[in-house]
């Protein structure tokens, strides 16, 4: 008999690493330097996580110079 567990129980490694980031401290720094001055929908926090994920997964930009 096979027992299936819901996927929500398992936490991805990236999510586990992101828990170590102090979001409130990062938010204070962003506010101090007005890093979110022109933000409309894609938040500074999402951009940070995207950049970290790109570094961990060794991604390169799709834009060719």
57 vs 33: CA distance, rounded Å = 29
pTM of the predicted model as reported, rounded to 2 decimal places: 0.64
Q: Which pLDDT score, from 0 to 100, does residue 8 have?
A: 57
Work out the pLDDT band at 61, boundaries 50, 70, 90.
low
Look at residue 25 in the predicted model and tell me its pLDDT. Answer: 92
Distances (CA, A) of 46 to 22, 32, 64: 14, 18, 24
**pLDDT (tens digit per residue) in 11-60:** 677 888 888 889 899 899 998 998 888 877 888 888 888 888 888 787 77
Q: What is the pLDDT of residue 57?
A: 82
């Amino acid at each position: 008999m096979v027992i299936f567990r819901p996927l929500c129980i398992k936490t991805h490694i990236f999510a586990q690493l992101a828990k170590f980031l102090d979001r409130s401290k990062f938010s204070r720094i962003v506010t101090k330097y007005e890093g979110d001055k022109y933000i409309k929908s894609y938040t500074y926090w999402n951009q940070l996580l995207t950049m970290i994920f790109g570094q961990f997964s060794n991604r390169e930009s799709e834009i060719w110079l």
